Amino acid sequence: MPSDNIIRISEIINRKVVLKETLSPDDEMLLDEWLAASEDNKSYYDKLSIGEECDAFDRVVALSSQEKQWKRLRRRIGRGPRNKRPVWLRIGYAAAIVVAVGVSAVFLREHIGAEHGGGGTDMEYIEPASNKAVLVLGSGQSVEIGEGEQTIEDQGAFIRVRDGQVAYEQSDKELPDAMIYNTIRVPRKGVFSMVLSDGTHVSLSPDSELRYPVSFDGDTREVSLNGEAHFEVTHDPGKPFIVNAGDKKITVLGTSFVVSVYKDEPFGTASLLVGSIRVSNEGGTVHRVLTPGKQAAWKEGGQGISVDDFNAEHLMLSLQGIIVLEEKDVQSIMRMLSRWFDMNVDYDRQMSANHSITVRFTKQDNLPEILSRITKVGGPRFRIEGKTIHVY
């Protein structure tokens, strides 16, 4: 089955079974055709309909490199002990959205993986991003951190590193009067997650940097970001959380959102999943308040901030490791891949700015597989020489 139909079927199942929406006649016909295509399809659908396949969400959690974050999100939205009732009846609409994405993730992993197999390419295997970062302490000392376990004491705080995550805990020592800042730098081909001293969770993408205080004192909680990060902010109405993203400020009380401010991208963006955020320019003369499903975009140095809808389900899938790109220009896809795999990109021919493609892959796919898939859906051809991807 073509991957476009796989995506469509997963969305139809989510809407009908999980969200209890009424399908259009065309969608009903497509679902009936898919069910009639094999006994495995019908068995999967029947189990999902009576709640037996709710373990799909747990399977997504197990597959995710951000397992602890998804478990925490599940707790936040109120999932209680298991019982005979389908999970979406027990945890409400917001949770059903998360489970719907989880079902899509399992569905897409299984079907896209089976469809594309080894990628059909003889290019050398290049593994994807892994947990690695450099932690710069308040003293200026730099510490490389990764998969192992480490405990670091830094001027009144214990820093615990375990399983690709950093967490801050206060020690019994009195903190210095001056606010102490740490910086975590995630290189190209790296990812890392952390828990700030207020309990806020941050997941950093490749080629990203976050500067933050060891302890949040004063009336606000301010951090500075270069690159891209997903924030799950601990609710504290008396102490707003502020992300300084280039010359823009993003202010929240407690919410889940993604900020992307790469210097090589034409626009910075803030995409809201849950809650509410306010995006302001440097002078504070322009403010845009976002609701879930809205995305703010801006040019660095510009005063304007635009707001538009975005596909929240695709963003949530990306947080679980599944990338769905629709009508995306080839240059922006290659910039993303260069960060994920720490590669340079060389264009052997002029690429049209209007050359856009639709492609799906996972963050665990190796680079040749992804490039082969881009070519198959109408993109350019590629060859790899050392640390350079040639596009032709």
pLDDT in tens, 337-357: 999 999 999 998 777 666 888
365, 128 in Cβ contact below 8 A?
Answer: yes
- A 10 A CB-CB count for 377 gives 14
Residue 111 scores a pLDDT above 90? no
Cα 304 to Cα 52: distance, rounded to the nearest angstrom: 49
List, for residues 53-92, the tens digit of each pLDDT value: 444 444 433 333 334 444 444 444 344 333 433 433 333 3
| Residue pointed to by tokens 């849950």 | 274
Residue 391 scores a pLDDT above 90? yes
Cα 263 to Cα 243: distance, rounded to the nearest angstrom: 16
Mean pLDDT of 255-272: 94
In a domain, 121, yes or no: no
282, 256 in Cβ contact below 8 A?
Answer: no
In a domain, 122, yes or no: no
Number of domains in the chain: 4
Cα 390 to Cα 392: distance, rounded to the nearest angstrom: 6
In a domain, 87, yes or no: yes
29, 35 in Cβ contact below 8 A?
Answer: no
| Residue pointed to by tokens 């809205």 | 294
Q: Global pTM?
A: 0.71
Range of the domain at 28: 3-116
List, for residues 210-251, the tens digit of each pLDDT value: 999 988 888 999 999 999 999 999 989 889 999 999 999 999
Q: What is the DSSP letter of 114?
A: H
Residue 4 scores a pLDDT above 70? no
Among residues 233, 227, 226, the alpha carbon closest in space to that of 252 is found at: 233
What per-residue confidence (pLDDT) applies to 90? Answer: 35
Instruction: State whether 377 and 325 are in the same domain.
Output: yes
Residue type, 314: H
Instruction: State whether 230 and 132 are in the same domain.
Output: no
Q: Which CATH number is 350's domain given?
A: 3.55.50.30
What per-residue confidence (pLDDT) applies to 296? Answer: 97
Last residue of a domain, one of 276, 295, 316: 316
- A 10 A CB-CB count for 155 gives 16
What per-residue confidence (pLDDT) applies to 156? Answer: 66
List, for residues 188-201, the tens digit of each pLDDT value: 999 999 989 898 99
What per-residue confidence (pLDDT) applies to 94? Answer: 41
What per-residue confidence (pLDDT) applies to 364? Answer: 85
Map residue 55 onto helix, strand or coil.
Answer: helix
Cα 245 to Cα 247: distance, rounded to the nearest angstrom: 6
What per-residue confidence (pLDDT) applies to 18? Answer: 61
Residue 291 scores a pLDDT above 70? yes
Q: How far is CA 117 from CA 75, 120, 370, in A?
A: 35, 8, 11
Instruction: State whether 208 and 170 are in the same domain.
Output: yes
